Chain A
């Protein structure tokens, strides 16, 4: 089975840095995705890690430790528009090569002035 944990809510200040943690226990692993979802909108891809270490992409970075079953998403220079839900998802490979994503419940980030 799959078990993915992330905090339900976080609050941070505009211009600051925030780290959203995700821990997982899964049978099988083909990478970990982070998605952003604004209320009423589609989830949009932020990052993907399959090997241990840090992936940096502009203001967003994501880290993975497979041995610890742990990932985090780091958001720098927070902007008001970063207020959204951040979804951690573990991938399993499907027949035919697709990715089956199992999502956590999401972390609702609120950015305040």
Chain B
């Protein structure tokens, strides 16, 4: 399968614990995005990477959230000191650029990592 891969698919944790999610984008895509989605809502933008550079972060993203993409391939999203309000689906997406950009620049989403904070 050459789609966007996310792990773990489900995570249940206690309030105050740290969690980390991993995203492996489509291999030729150098743009990577993290979104958060709660029940009955559309995905909400969190942050964006072009290769290893984090170029934009949402103002809604608290300092407990940090994302990295150290080698410009996979990315991790860490949430420190989790709160019950962090319970959501965390979606990763990727898109191509340059010569690989043949379509509309649409984002290709993974199936998400569902976080439940007790």
Contacts and interface: CB of A to CB of B under 8 A. Distances in A.
Nearest to B41: A105
Contact of B112 (A42, A48, A89, A106): A42
Given A41-B111, A42-B91, A42-B109, A98 B42 contact: no
Interface in A92-111: 94-106
B102 interface: no
A105 B40 contact: yes
A41 B43 CA distance: 12
Interface of B: 3-4, 31, 33, 40-45, 48, 50, 53, 55-56, 91, 95, 97, 104-112
Contacts of A94: 48, 55-56
27 contacts: A4-B42, A31-B104, A33-B104, A33-B106, A41-B111, A42-B109, A43-B43, A43-B91, A87-B42, A89-B42, A91-B105, A94-B56, A95-B55, A96-B50, A96-B97, A97-B50, A97-B97, A98-B55, A98-B95, A99-B107, A100-B33, A100-B45, A100-B48, A101-B43, A101-B107, A102-B45, A103-B44
A10 to B, nearest CB: 15
B55 A106 contact: no
A87 B43 CA distance: 9
Contacts of B110: 42
A29 to B, nearest CB: 14
Given A31-B104, A94-B55, A94-B56, A103 B42 contact: yes
A81 B111 CA distance: 18
A98 B48 contact: yes
Nearest to A108: B40
B115 to A, nearest CB: 14
B52 to A, nearest CB: 12
Nearest to A30: B105
